[in-house]
C-alpha cells in the first residue's frame, strides 16, 4: 500500500509539473480578448448552474405539489412545470453561448502558439535543426498542437462548470442533510476517486510513449515516400514494410492498452450513478419506515432532491476526471511544443547593426567551424578574399567542407573561429535580413514550392514583372521548356517540383536566384544536373548579364570551374590549394588528381 501510494504521489506530481508547463504555454500566448472570453465563460457558467439548480428546486416543489394536488388542485403543478421549462431553455441557451465562446477562445490561443512555433522554426540555423528532426517538428506542429487544443477546449468548457456545480450542490445538499444518505454518497465517491487514481497511474506513462511513437511513424512513412524510387529499385518493399510494421505494432499496442483502460471508465461511472441512486433510495426507505404519512411525504420530497444533487456532484466529478484523463497527454504535447518555442537559436541578430562598407566582396579570415557537441573542426584555417564581379569556386571530395563554407556566407551557420566578412563587415555585425537581401542562392538539391512557375521564380519579389521573370529564365536556359507548356509561366508546380525533371528544377532554381539581381550569387553544386553544353551556356549568360555580381560556385566537375578567377581546393576540411586552374593543375596534387579523373592530359593542357 505504501509503495502504491508513493507511486500515486509521483504520478500526481508529474501531472502537476506537466500541467504547469501547459498553463505557462497557454497563458504566455493569450491575448487580452482571450482573457475577456475566459472571464465571460466563468460568469456564464454561474448563470448556467443557477438555472440548473433552479430546476432541482422546482422538481422538489413539483413533487410536493403532486402529493398535495388533492387538496390544492393542479395549478401549482402547471406553474412549476412552466418554470422548469423556462429554466431548461435558458440553461441550454447559455450552454450554447459558452461552447461557442470556448471554441473561439481555444482556437485563437492555439493559432497564436502555432504561429509562434512556425516563426521560431523559420529562425533556426542549420545547427538548430540537429536538435529536432523534420518528422518531429511536423508532429509537434500538427498532432501535438491538436492535443493541446482539445485539452484547452475541454478545460474551458468543464473546468469552471464542474467545481461550481459541485460547490453549489453541496451547499443545497446541506438543506436535506441526513447521516445515512451522506455516508452512502461519500462511499461511492471514494470508490470513483480510487479507481480514477489507478487509471491515471496506468495511463500517464503511456501518453509520453505515444507521442514518441507518433514521431517514429512519421519517420518511417516519410522515409518510404521520399525514397520510393530507391526502395523499388532495390526490391526493398518487404524490408521497408517490416520497419513500418514494427513501429506500427508498438504504436498499436500502446493505443490498445490506453483504449482498453479508458473503456473501464464509462461503465464505472454508470455503475456509480446507478449504485448511488439505489443506495440512497434504499437508505431512504430505511429512514421512512415507521414515519407517519405527512412526515414521510416531506422526507420523500427531500430524498428526490438529495438524489438529484448527489447525481450532480458525481457528474461534476466525472467532468473533472474527463479533463484529468486527457490532460497528461496534452501536457506532454505542450512540453514538446514549448521546447521548440523556447529553443535558443544559435544564429542571432546583433543589437547594434552596422552599415556595409563595400559591394559584392567576400573575405574569410582564418575561419574554423565545429558542429555542436564536438571539439573537432569540420573546416579549419580557411582564408581567401573575393572582389566584386569575380568568380570563386570550391572543389574537393565529398565531406571536404565545401557546403559548410558557403553556408557561413548567408549565416546559415556561424563560424566558431575567425571572421567571415561580406561587403567589408563581419556578417555577425549586420542584420540577417540585410545580409540575405544581397545574396542569391541556388541549392544543391533543386527545390520548388507548390504553386506556379512564375511565383517560384519571383520568390524574392512577388511584384516582379513577367518581363523580368522571363529575363531570369532565359539566363538559366529555362524559358524554352516553360513556354512549351500549355499555361507557360502560369503552369502548375507540384509540391517539391515533382512534375519537373532534375535538370528543369535546377534551371528554375538558378532562375530564381538570378531574378533577384543580387550582389552575390551562390551555386551549391547547382550545375550538376545540367549537361556540359547547358552548364557552359548558363554560366556564360550569367557572366554576360550580371558582370558586377560576385559568383560563388561549388562543383564536382572541373569543366564547370576552369574559368573561375580563384579555385579553392579542399581536402578533409583544409585548404590544400588556391589559385587559377592553369596553376593548380600543375602545382596542386589533389586538384590534379580530380582533374585527371575527368579529363585527359591533352584536354588539361599538360
Q: What is the arrangement of strands in the sheet containing 417-422, beginning at the earlier edge strand?
A: 379-386, 362-369, 417-422, 425-426
Taking the C-alpha atoms of residue 208 and residue 439, their distance in angstroms, rounded to an integer, is: 43
122-126, 367-371, 519-523 — most confident range = 519-523
Q: How confident is the model at residue 2 (pLDDT cuts 50, 70, 90)?
A: very low
DSSP alpha helix (H) spans, 350-485: 402-407, 432-437, 453-457, 466-475, 479-483
Give 365's contacts (C-beta < 8 A, 6+ positions apart): 383, 418, 419, 420, 421
Q: How far is CA 196 from the centre of its chain?
A: 31
What confidence tens digit (pLDDT) does each residue in 303-357 have? 666 777 777 777 777 777 777 778 877 888 888 899 899 888 888 888 888 999 9
- Cα–Cα distances (Å) from 199 to 187, 193, 254, 492, in that order, read 19, 10, 14, 52
Average pLDDT, the chain: 82
Residue of higher predicted confidence among 182 and 41:
41
Contact 590, 569 (CB under 8 A): yes
Closest CA to 94 of 56, 59, 49, 57: 49
- 221: number of Cβ within 10 Å: 14
Taking the C-alpha atoms of residue 402 and residue 406, their distance in angstroms, rounded to an integer, is: 7
Percent of the chain, pLDDT > 70? 88
Taking the C-alpha atoms of residue 346 and residue 348, their distance in angstroms, rounded to an integer, is: 6
Q: How far is CA 570 from the centre of its chain?
A: 39
Q: How confident is the model at residue 179 (pLDDT cuts 50, 70, 90)?
A: low
Q: What is the pLDDT of residue 35?
A: 92
Q: What domains does the chain contain, in order, with CATH numbers?
A: 29-341 (1.20.1560.10), 360-438+519-591 (3.40.50.300), 445-517 (3.40.50.300)
Element (H, E) at 383: strand 379-386
Taking the C-alpha atoms of residue 14 and residue 601, their distance in angstroms, rounded to an integer, is: 71
Lowest mean pLDDT among 124-133, 176-185, 447-456, 489-498: 176-185
Q: Return the C-alpha cell found at 60.
A: 422538489
Residue of higher predicted confidence among 268 and 580:
580
Judging by DSSP bridges, how do beta strands 362-369 and 379-386 pair with one another? antiparallel
Closest CA to 406 of 395, 397, 417: 395
What confidence tens digit (pLDDT) does each residue in 85-114 have? 898 899 899 999 999 999 999 999 999 999
Burial 406-434 (b: 16+ CB within 10 A, else e): bbbbbbbbbbbebbbbbbebebbbbebee
The average pLDDT across 67-76 equals 65
Lowest mean pLDDT among 77-86, 222-231, 233-242, 472-481: 222-231
Residues in the chain: 606
Residue 3 has pLDDT above 80, yes or no: no
pTM above 0.85, yes or no: no
Q: What is the pLDDT of residue 553?
A: 92
Lowest mean pLDDT among 84-98, 235-249, 409-423: 235-249
Closest CA to 176 of 66, 57, 293: 57
Closest CA to 573 of 361, 374, 319: 374
DSSP alpha helix (H) spans, 123-264: 126-129, 134-141, 143-158, 161-173, 179-226, 228-233, 237-263
Q: How far is CA 63 from the centre of its chain?
A: 56
Residue 362 has pLDDT above 90, yes or no: yes
Q: What is the pLDDT of residue 519?
A: 93
Closest CA to 538 of 507, 498, 494: 507
Residue 282 has pLDDT above 80, yes or no: no
Closest CA to 326 of 163, 203, 191: 203
Taking the C-alpha atoms of residue 332 and residue 377, their distance in angstroms, rounded to an integer, is: 36
Tell me the chain's radius of gyration from C-alpha atoms.
36
Beta bridge partners of 291: none
Residue 9 has pLDDT above 60, yes or no: no
Element (H, E) at 272: helix 265-288
Mapped onto helix, strand or coil, the DSSP state of residue 552 is strand
What confidence tens digit (pLDDT) does each residue in 199-217 have? 777 776 776 677 678 777 7
Amino acid at each position: 500500500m505504501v509503495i502504491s501510494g508513493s507511486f500515486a504521489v509521483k504520478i500526481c506530481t508529474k501531472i502537476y509539473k506537466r500541467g504547469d508547463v501547459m498553463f505557462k504555454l497557454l497563458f504566455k500566448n493569450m491575448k487580452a480578448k482571450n482573457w475577456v472570453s475566459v472571464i465571460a465563460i466563468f460568469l456564464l457558467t454561474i448563470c448556467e448552474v443557477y438555472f440548473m439548480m433552479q430546476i432541482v428546486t422546482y422538481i422538489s416543489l413539483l413533487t410536493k405539489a403532486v402529493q398535495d394536488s388533492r387538496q390544492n388542485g393542479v395549478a401549482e403543478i402547471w406553474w412549476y412545470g412552466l418554470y422548469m421549462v423556462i429554466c431548461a431553455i435558458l440553461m441550454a441557451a447559455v450552454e450554447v453561448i459558452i461552447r461557442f465562446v470556448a471554441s473561439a477562445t481555444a482556437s485563437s490561443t492555439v493559432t497564436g502558439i502555432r504561429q509562434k512555433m512556425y516563426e521560431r522554426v523559420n529562425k533556426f540555423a542549420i545547427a538548430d535543426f540537429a536538435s529536432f528532426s523534420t518528422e518531429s517538428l511536423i508532429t509537434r506542429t500538427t498532432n501535438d498542437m491538436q492535443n493541446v487544443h482539445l485539452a484547452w477546449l475541454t478545460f474551458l468548457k468543464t473546468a469552471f462548470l464542474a467545481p461550481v456545480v459541485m460547490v453549489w450542490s453541496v451547499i443545497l445538499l446541506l438543506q436535506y442533510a441526513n447521516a445515512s444518505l451522506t455516508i452512502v454518497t461519500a462511499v461511492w465517491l471514494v470508490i470513483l476517486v480510487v479507481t480514477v487514481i489507478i487509471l491515471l497511474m496506468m495511463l500517464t506513462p503511456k501518453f509520453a510513449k505515444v507521442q514518441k511513437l507518433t514521431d517514429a511513424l512519421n519517420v518511417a512513412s516519410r522515409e518510404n515516400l521520399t525514397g520510393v524510387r530507391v526502395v523499388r529499385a532495390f526490391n526493398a518493399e518487404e524490408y521497408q514494410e517490416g520497419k513500418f510494421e514494427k513501429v506500427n505494432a508498438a504504436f498499436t499496442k500502446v493505443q490498445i492498452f490506453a483504449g482498453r483502460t479508458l473503456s473501464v471508465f464509462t461503465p464505472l461511472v454508470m455503475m456509480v450513478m446507478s449504485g448511488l441512486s439505489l443506495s440512497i433510495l434504499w437508505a431512504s426507505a430505511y429512514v421512512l419506515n415507521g414515519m407517519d404519512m405527512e412526515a414521510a411525504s416531506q422526507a420523500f420530497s427531500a430524498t428526490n432532491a438529495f438524489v438529484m444533487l448527489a447525481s450532480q456532484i458525481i457528474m461534476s466529478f466525472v467532468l473533472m476526471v474527463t479533463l484529468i484523463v486527457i490532460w497528461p497527454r496534452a501536457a506532454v504535447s505542450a512540453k514538446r511544443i514549448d521546447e521548440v518555442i523556447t529553443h535558443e537559436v544559435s544564429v542571432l541578430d546583433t543589437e547594434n547593426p552596422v552599415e556595409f562598407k563595400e559591394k559584392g566582396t567576400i573575405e574569410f579570415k582564418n575561419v574554423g567551424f565545429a558542429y555542436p557537441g564536438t571539439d573537432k573542426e569540420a573546416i579549419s584555417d580557411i582564408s581567401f578574399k573575393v572582389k566584386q564581379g569575380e568568380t570563386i569556386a570550391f572543389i574537393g571530395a565529398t565531406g571536404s567542407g565545401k557546403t559548410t563554407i558557403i553556408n557561413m556566407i548567408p549565416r546559415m551557420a556561424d563560424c566558431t573561429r575567425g571572421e567571415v566578412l561580406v561587403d567589408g563587415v563581419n556578417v555577425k555585425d549586420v542584420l540577417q535580413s540585410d545580409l540575405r537581401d544581397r545574396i542569391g542562392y541556388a541549392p544543391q538539391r533543386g527545390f520548388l514550392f507548390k504553386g506556379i512557375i512564375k511565383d517560384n521564380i519571383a520568390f524574392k519579389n512577388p511584384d516582379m514583372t513577367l518581363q523580368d521573370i522571363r529575363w531570369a529564365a532565359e539566363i538559366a536556359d529555362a524559358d524554352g521548356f516553360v513556354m512549351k507548356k500549355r499555361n507557360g509561366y502560369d503552369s502548375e508546380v507540384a509540391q517539391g517540383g515533382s512534375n519537373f525533371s532534375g535538370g528543369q528544377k535546377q534551371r528554375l532554381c538558378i532562375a530564381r536566384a538570378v531574378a533577384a539581381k543580387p550582389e552575390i550569387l551562390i551555386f551549391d553544386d547547382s550545375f550538376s544536373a545540367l549537361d556540359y553544353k547547358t552548364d557552359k551556356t548558363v554560366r556564360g549568360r550569367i557572366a554576360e548579364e550580371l558582370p558586377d555580381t560576385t559568383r560563388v560556385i561549388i562543383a564536382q566537375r572541373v569543366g564547370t570551374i576552369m574559368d573561375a578567377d580563384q579555385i579553392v581546393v579542399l581536402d578533409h576540411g583544409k585548404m590544400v590549394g588556391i589559385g587559377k586552374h592553369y596553376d593548380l593543375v600543375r602545382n596542386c596534387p589533389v586538384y590534379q588528381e580530380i582533374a585527371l579523373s575527368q579529363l585527359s592530359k591533352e584536354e588539361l593542357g599538360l
